[in-house]
A and B are shown apart, each in its own frame.
Chain A
Amino acid sequence: MNNAIESINLTKIYKNGVKALNNFSLNVLKNQIFSILGKNGAGKTTFTKIVSTILEPTSGDAYVLGKNIKSEVKEIRKRIAVVPQEGRPLSLQTPYEHVFMYLVARGWSIFEAKRKTNEVLEMLDLKEFKNTICGNLSGGLKQRVMLAMSIATEPELLLLDEPTIGLDPIARSRMWGIIRKLNSMGTSIFLTTHYMEEAETLANRIAIIDRGEKIIEGTREEIKNKINATTAVLIVGDVDEVEIESYGTVVKSGSTLRLYTNEKVSREIVDKLLSKKEGISFSVRPINLEDVFVYLVGEVND
């Protein structure tokens, strides 16, 4: 079995009637970084909770590391670790105490837990803060403590639910480095995010999800090829939309008009826009994941 996660028609309807997942099927291969990308409320956390054995699905089934999420829960729980969305460490305890406690609670010997705690804190550059109470740490360091608790258990599959939410760009980029390092050490990573750049930078494969349904799945390039274009022209200002549409595919997102076209046509439109009156601003760049997301799902949340 080469799948880290295999979900088959998972559906989740909450008691309040909200359908968070609708026949959601997905295959995540082992040793990959797989990212689910979606707006807030798209169903990412629901899916993560179901495959983490925290939440029961309404219907459908899933296998994690070859084990069934309904009948083989114990086997799954021994081999996975989760960093929940917006989870945070306790403020009066230190990073060392968090990791050590969690390892011993999971059955590690005191001696092994001490050794592993030191090793993980060093790996995540938390050693100098190991005896600082978490209440005095920055948001990025707190998030690293949560990650340290999870990776110390040496999971085969690590599920990260929006691990960089609320972090500044430096802390985020540092977290990306850690995720890559973990993956290079053989840990399969399942990552949910609503940051396009994060999915694009980290993931081997990406699935875009909206309103509980999978819209598309593939590698970065496969997803980018979904739009038959190589270049995006982003225009803000008073332009004739009908005229712009004649140059390619146009998607309106907020006050921005996105034109997806090829490089040659983009030069033409740039000349045209430059000759226009003031009050128009635009930029030209290669198609990225955000463009596909906007094309398929609609507006991006920050």
Chain B
Amino acid sequence: MIKRIYYGIRTTLIISWFYGILQIKRSPFSVLTFLLTPLSLVFFIYIFGGERALNYGIIGALISSIVSSSIIVETDATFLRIITKIQDIFVSSPVSPISYAAGLALSDLIPGLPGVVFFLTFLALINKLQILQFLAIFYAISLTWANISALGFFISTFARDPRDIWVYAPILTVVLGFISPVYYPITFLPNWAFYASLLSPTTYPAEIIRIVLNLSNNNLLYYSLGLLLYTCVLMFLAGKRLRWKEK
């Protein structure tokens, strides 16, 4: 069992080196893609909202950088399955689907990491984060990475044609990373929109961070469990649909 886990982690890491680290080494500007859009929003939020709104902007930027770099799994999983057929080479090998999926998810996070670290540092500096606050934020962003990557895999399983590859990720990035209440307080929403926003997996981590930074009075446990439940459901769905052995 321990040996299997060791080999699984090793496989995940080598895939993320191959598909993530080498990719940004050869195409370093891809990092900017995930950094500049949220940063520009933070800039405008600061200009129009002042210092009071800055925290909301940075929380939003942190979540949306994770969303935009994780949802790309949808594009990459489809690309590797339909265009390059690299997935077939892995399927017909002893590599487990979990190691492969985790490797891809980690690869895709790598270009987004500088943005995540930047916004996290920014947040830590202006709020002088305590260890418990930091742990809660880490819980929120880790599970966001896991559930958005799972969502990406889940959606990729529906793609059957190369034309499907670049359709869904940009739409989901906008819906989950920008329209959902990640950049603004959830209390700004009218009643119906509040309930609708609970359908978005990104509402939970953003609210968790706002709660631990005393920007919201909502219940931390409620949103933490919501995020955990959402992550479990999305990972279950992705695992169910992950096309390893085709039927």
A positions within 8 Å CB-CB of B: 49, 52-56, 73-74, 77-78, 80-90, 92-93, 97-98, 101-102, 104-107, 133, 146, 149-150, 153, 159
Closest to A153 in B: B93
Contact residues in B for A86 (Cβ distance below 8 Å): 85
Contact residues in A for B99 (Cβ distance below 8 Å): 105
User: Is B240 at the interface (CB under 8 A from chain A)?
Assistant: no
Distance from A116 Cβ to chain B, minimum over Cβ atoms (Å):
14
Contact residues in A for B190 (Cβ distance below 8 Å): none
- B14 near A101 with CB under 8 A, answer yes
Contact residues in A for B95 (Cβ distance below 8 Å): 105-106
Closest to A85 in B: B85
Cβ contacts B21-58/A at 8 Å (1 or 0 each):
01100110000000000000000000000000000000
- B84 near A54 with CB under 8 A, answer no
Closest to A150 in B: B89
User: Is B163 at the interface (CB under 8 A from chain A)?
Assistant: no
Contact residues in B for A81 (Cβ distance below 8 Å): 89, 92-93
- A90 near B93 with CB under 8 A, answer no
- B18 near A101 with CB under 8 A, answer yes
A150-B89, A153-B93 as given contacts; A104 in contact with B10, CB under 8 Å = yes
- B15 near A101 with CB under 8 A, answer yes
Can you name 30 A-B pairs with beta carbons within 8 Å?
A52-B92, A53-B92, A54-B91, A54-B246, A73-B245, A78-B94, A81-B89, A81-B92, A82-B88, A82-B89, A82-B92, A83-B89, A84-B88, A84-B89, A85-B85, A87-B84, A90-B84, A92-B23, A92-B27, A93-B18, A93-B26, A97-B18, A101-B14, A101-B18, A105-B99, A105-B103, A106-B95, A107-B11, A107-B94, A153-B93
B positions within 8 Å CB-CB of A: 7, 10-11, 14-15, 17-19, 22-23, 26-27, 83-86, 88-95, 99, 103, 245-247
Contact residues in A for B84 (Cβ distance below 8 Å): 87-90
Within the assembled complex, what's the spacing in Å between the Cα atoms of A118 and B91? 24
Distance from A65 Cβ to chain B, minimum over Cβ atoms (Å):
13
Within the assembled complex, what's the spacing in Å between the Cα atoms of A107 and B99? 12
Closest to A103 in B: B14
Within the assembled complex, what's the spacing in Å between the Cα atoms of A82 and B87? 11
Contact residues in A for B85 (Cβ distance below 8 Å): 84-88
Within the assembled complex, what's the spacing in Å between the Cα atoms of A83 and B84? 11
Distance from B78 Cβ to chain A, minimum over Cβ atoms (Å):
14
Contact residues in B for A80 (Cβ distance below 8 Å): 92
- B247 near A56 with CB under 8 A, answer yes
- B89 near A56 with CB under 8 A, answer no
A81-B93, A105-B11 as given contacts; A54 in contact with B23, CB under 8 Å = no
A77-B94, A105-B14 known; 8 other A-B pairs, CB under 8 Å? A55-B246, A56-B247, A82-B89, A90-B19, A92-B22, A93-B18, A104-B14, A105-B95
- B245 near A54 with CB under 8 A, answer yes
Within the assembled complex, what's the spacing in Å between the Cα atoms of A117 and B191? 60
Closest to A107 in B: B7
Contact residues in A for B93 (Cβ distance below 8 Å): 77, 81, 102, 105-106, 153
- B246 near A56 with CB under 8 A, answer yes
Within the assembled complex, what's the spacing in Å between the Cα atoms of A81 and B95? 12
Contact residues in B for A49 (Cβ distance below 8 Å): 88, 246
Within the assembled complex, what's the spacing in Å between the Cα atoms of A77 and B244? 13
- A53 near B15 with CB under 8 A, answer no
Distance from B13 Cβ to chain A, minimum over Cβ atoms (Å):
9
Within the assembled complex, what's the spacing in Å between the Cα atoms of A101 and B80? 15
Contact residues in B for A93 (Cβ distance below 8 Å): 18, 22-23, 26
Distance from B9 Cβ to chain A, minimum over Cβ atoms (Å):
12
Contact residues in B for A56 (Cβ distance below 8 Å): 245-247
Contact residues in A for B27 (Cβ distance below 8 Å): 92
Distance from B163 Cβ to chain A, minimum over Cβ atoms (Å):
17
- B86 near A90 with CB under 8 A, answer yes
A56-B246, A87-B85 as given contacts; A97 in contact with B22, CB under 8 Å = yes
Distance from A80 Cβ to chain B, minimum over Cβ atoms (Å):
6
